[in-house]
Amino acid sequence: MPDTHLPIIACHECDLLQREILLRKGDFATCSRCGSVLYRNLPESLDRTLAFSLAAAVMFLLANTFPIFGIELQGNRMAMNLVEAVHSVWNQEMKLIALLVLITTVLIPAFEIIMMIYLLMSLKFQRMPPGANLILRMLQSVKPWGMVEIFMLGVLVSLVKLSHDFIIIPGVAIWSFGLLTVLIAAVAASFNPRDIWINVERETGREVSG
């Protein structure tokens, strides 16, 4: 039964107004008309997301330091890490492609991980960090442009293509990228911006549902 103490929410995909319901841990509420997910109740969202973010930061550093993989042909060897690969493509006069790859696989994931750690660390110490509103807004708008998981598939496709003509030497970063993909997915699955807004409301003294 709808509880009239709970706030009203509008579906962001069909704009239908509906009253919130209380959720058990791990459940999510969907729009009664179009079925889109309205909000989730994620247990220990803050701690889990922070843990995944810190692990992702370590993996990100490894993934960008070591070579992804190397190839060998008649004694000639080539191996490079992601930034070196971007640099090489830049020097081949494919500057737009180099920029696109740099932004989607290095800059945006780095931005997301750093901002997530900053935000969640501050909340962990019981305070709203300065600029939290702006950061959450930016995190939301850059989200579709972080493409580590697609890059990972690209690495695998490249490996198979190259295995025809070259001897492949897997690098450390190929494993790091694999783990980074999983960790970034885990961050996205455990992060619940709703918790942060509820925090804001508590501080400003408005009544909200948990």
Q: Does 164 bind another protein (CB under 8 A)?
A: yes
φ, ψ (nearest 5 deg) of residue 150? -70, -40
- Cβ 163 vs Cβ 46: under 8 Å: no
- Give yes or no for residue 142 binding another protein (CB under 8 A): no
> Of 42, 191, 26, whose CA–CA distance to 117 is shortest?
191
Q: Judged by CB under 8 A, does residue 30 bind another protein?
A: no
Q: What's the closest the beta carbon of residue 59 comes to another protein, in angstroms? A: 18
16 binds another protein (CB under 8 A): yes
- Alpha-carbon radius of gyration of the chain: 21
CA distance 203 to 201: 5
13 binds another protein (CB under 8 A): yes
DSSP 8-state class, residue 107: I
What three-state secondary structure class fits 129?
coil
Decide if residue 35 touches another protein (CB under 8 A): yes
Give me the residues that bind another protein (CB under 8 A), please.
7-10, 12-17, 33-36, 39, 68, 70-71, 73-74, 76, 78-80, 84-86, 88-89, 92, 94, 96-98, 100-101, 104-105, 133, 136-137, 140, 144-145, 147, 150-151, 153-155, 157-158, 160-162, 164-166, 193-194, 197, 200-201, 204
